Amino acid sequence: MKTELLGGISARKFLRDYWQKKPLLVRKALRDFVPLLTRDELIGLACRDDAQSRLITQKNGEWRVRAGPFAARAFSRLPERQWTLLVQDVNHFLPSARNLLLKFRFIPHSRLDDLMISYAPQGGGVGPHFDSYDVFLLQGMGCRYWQISAQRDKTLVAEAPLKLLRDFRPEQEWLLEPGDMLYLPPGYAHYGVAKDPCMTYSIGFRAPSYQELVTQFLVYLQDHTVIKGMYRDPDIRLHSNPGRISREMLSQVNAALTNIKWGRDDVKRFTGMYLTEPKPHVFFTPPSHPMPREEFANEVRKGKLRLNLKSRMLYRGKSIFLNGEVYTAGPSALRVLEKLADRLALPDMEELDEEALALLYQWYLYDHVEIELVAGSKP
């Protein structure tokens, strides 16, 4: 099925011909796009302790980067040109941001990172650079001038506070207006400069390095492996060179290490736990006055349950992964929980599986899911 979001091509064609292969410019991807928040509301997020934000300024060719949280008065002291405010994980704060991300559900949730929103006055930008992840750059208010390049030279400016390309050679360029969108695969060099006060929505899809995966898998094995026994040498011989590690010691250590075993189930459990693990700055606050279980069940049946905006949920086989933890459930409960993982919310349902209800109520007490009693889209 063709979609306006992708310029009239189908999601299948986009994944086949563009995803991780080449850029795609879409004019009026969201023809009637309504900004999710104002400049001042974005600044308000940047002042919060639980938000990740950066302020990037440029003066006389010199770049400076400051990390939030910020005091609101700091923004009244900024010049009229050449600065950028970046706020990560806006989808943790705005239901409308989650709704925007759901437009990209033709890509698995396991690859989704976050929605970052930037504001810049005229001339603002973060310099020529490249990202290691896939990104959709959706233009909100104002206009931004983009240059991109498939160049292989990725040499960076030495000692710069940002990862800036030393020799950026643009090959294509466009002016993006409200509702326009540019997709860039990993490693594509790009440079965006605000033509006038503007906001850009960056929908990023992470791709962890193999080194990161292996490192974290070793941590997983450390927590889930028990090797019995201890080093013994009752028949040790007299050594004339006590500083030398003996062949017998190396053999015994090697034998112990060969006892480290893992299989596909370990890989599945690790992958689900790793991909749903909350970022270090994310915390959950259990309800101070939780509703009784029966009242909770009634609200769930009415279709009012949704994942906490900060929660990440995936599944595979009989395993459900939520915020770094793994749960198992029977077939009936799985059908309910899989809907929640796919849609990030549950529809109306007359019958609610008891096993699923028990897990959902437990997650509600942990603040991993919530009942949407009052609709709202502003922080």
Q: What percent of the chain has pLDDT over 70?
A: 98
Note the pLDDT tens digit of each residue in 316-368.
999 999 999 999 999 999 999 999 999 999 999 878 899 999 999 999 999 99
Label residue 31 by pLDDT band (50, 70, 90): confident
Please give the mean pLDDT across all residues of the chain: 94
**Whole-prediction pTM value?**
0.92
Which sequence spans correspond to the domains of the chain?
4-205, 210-263, 293-371
Q: Are 354 and 373 in contact (CB under 8 A)?
A: no
- Phi and psi angles of residue 84, each rounded to the nearest 5 degrees, phi first: -140, 135
DSSP 2: B
- For 190, the token pair is 């790009």
Residues recorded for the chain: 379
Could you tell me which residues come within 8 angstroms of residue 116 by beta carbon, excluding any fewer than 6 positions away? 86, 87, 88, 89, 90, 201, 202, 204
Question: What average pLDDT does this structure show over 137-147?
Answer: 97
The residue whose two tokens read 């995803």 is 19
Exposed/middle/buried for 142, CB within 10 Å: 0-12, 13-18, 19+?
Answer: buried
Note the pLDDT tens digit of each residue in 40-69.
999 999 999 999 999 999 988 899 999 999
Label residue 376 by pLDDT band (50, 70, 90): very low
Which of 350, 362, 269, 276 is CA-nearest to residue 316? 269
Three-state SS across 284-345? Answer: CCCCCCCCCHHHHHHHHHCCCEEECCCCCEEEECCEEEECCEEEECCHHHHHHHHHHHHHCE
Residue at 184: amino acid letter:
L
Looking at residue 374, what is its pLDDT?
Answer: 55
Which of 27, 72, 40, 138 is CA-nearest to residue 379? 40
Residue 266 in 3-state DSSP?
Answer: helix
C-alpha span between 325 and 272 (Å, rounded): 8
Residue at 129: amino acid letter:
H
Looking at residue 42, what is its pLDDT?
Answer: 98
Beginning with the edge strand found earlier in the chain, give each strand of the sheet holding 189-194 in spatial order: 172-176, 144-149, 189-194
In order, the DSSP letters of 363-378 are HHHHTSEEE--S----
Q: Is the pLDDT of residue 234 over 60?
A: yes
Exposed/middle/buried for 280, CB within 10 Å: 0-12, 13-18, 19+?
Answer: exposed
Q: Domain 4-205 classified CATH 2.60.120.650? A: yes
E-only strand ranges, 195-289 = 198-205
Looking at residue 213, what is its pLDDT?
Answer: 96
Label residue 3 by pLDDT band (50, 70, 90): confident
CA–chain centroid gap for 124, Å, is 25
Looking at residue 59, what is its pLDDT?
Answer: 87
- For 274, the token pair is 């790793």
E-only strand ranges, 102-213 = 112-120, 134-139, 144-149, 172-176, 181-184, 189-194, 198-205
Question: What average pLDDT does this structure show over 189-203?
Answer: 98
Residue 70 in 3-state DSSP?
Answer: coil
For 168, other C-beta atoms within 10 Å of its C-beta total: 18
Note the pLDDT tens digit of each residue in 146-189.
999 999 999 999 999 999 999 999 999 999 999 999 999 999 99
For 325, other C-beta atoms within 10 Å of its C-beta total: 14
Flag the least confident range among 132-136, 237-241, 279-283: 237-241
Q: Are 217 and 260 in contact (CB under 8 A)?
A: no
C-alpha span between 311 and 309 (Å, rounded): 6
